[in-house]
Amino acid sequence: MSDLIRLKNVEKRYKNGVTAIYDLNLAIEKGSFVFIIGGSGSGKSTLIKMLYREEKPTKGQVIVGGLDVAKLKNSKVYKLRRKLGIVFQDYRLLPKQTVYENVAFALECIGEKKDVIRIKVLKALEDVGLKNKVHEYPDKLSGGEQQRVAIARAIVNEPKLLLCDEPTGNLDPDMSMEIMKVLEDINKRRGTTIVMATHDKEIVNKMKKQVITLKEGHLVKFKQKGKYEDEAI
């Protein structure tokens, strides 16, 4: 397997003087399912943001799908974004759009044909178990269902990489595990690489996936089948 993500000597220092990431070297293979864990201020969210170019590294290389994110011009960021999907903690659904319309929106923005949009949207909704909710509006859905819609929207364009920033942060334990089963299925059946930042110990321990542990912006541990180890935090 080849690397989909590679970080070389990466540092992220903010204008206020805070260094969120320091001397980070990391490689993530295609098809992996990786948790990023660490305490508050460890650099989890900063790392995720650098992968989709919300933030640029101060030093070093961040390579995603063959693109050097640090050197990517603002006008070319869309080339990176088309290679990946992003799922946030707060769903970010359009309240006046149906489930179908929310998922279709990403494809409409890139000018995809209507018949292709329909096929891809229904497939994505089937993959997250919501094909029977196409005409519903977000306020009629549970939190877990809203997050499934957000996941469907993120995978509808069949990205190679799915980035998840605390996707279960607003959900109870049962719903959280349902979301994790959906993500695991996407990883296995679609071959989508998943990188997920989380503070949820129970999820990390149950899933037994690869675990990257950050502490004060450093990589302190990378396990192929890991647990959430407090002593590393």
pLDDT tens-digit series, residues 51-110: 999 999 999 999 999 999 989 999 999 889 888 999 999 999 999 999 999 999 989 988
Tokens representing 2 are 């080849």
Instruction: State the pLDDT at residue 1.
Output: 52
Work out the number of other CB atoms within 10 angstroms of the CB of residue 31.
16
Which CATH number applies to 1-83+160-227? 3.40.50.300
Q: Where in the chain is the domain with CATH 3.40.50.300?
A: 1-83+160-227
Q: What is the pLDDT of residue 233?
A: 47
Rounded-to-integer distance, Cα 12 and Cα 57, Å: 5
Cβ-Cβ contacts under 8 Å for 3 (sequence gap 6 or more): 27, 28, 29, 30
Cβ neighbour number for residue 158 with a 10 Å cutoff: 12
- What's the chain's length in residues? 233
Which residue numbers in the chain have pLDDT < 50?
Answer: 231-233
Half-sphere exposure of 25 (CA within 13 A, CB side): 2
SS (H, E, C) the chain: CCEEEEEEEEEEECCCCCEEEEEEEEEEECCCEEEEECCCCCCHHHHHHHHCCCCCCCEEEEEECCEEHHHCCHHHHHHHHCCEEEECCCCCCCCCCCHHHHHHHHHHHCCCCHHHHHHHHHHHHHHCCCHHHCCCCHHHCCHHHHHHHHHHHHHCCCCCEEEEECCCCCCCHHHHHHHHHHHHHHHHHHCCEEEEECCCHHHHHHHCCEEEEEECCEEEEEECCCCCCHHHC
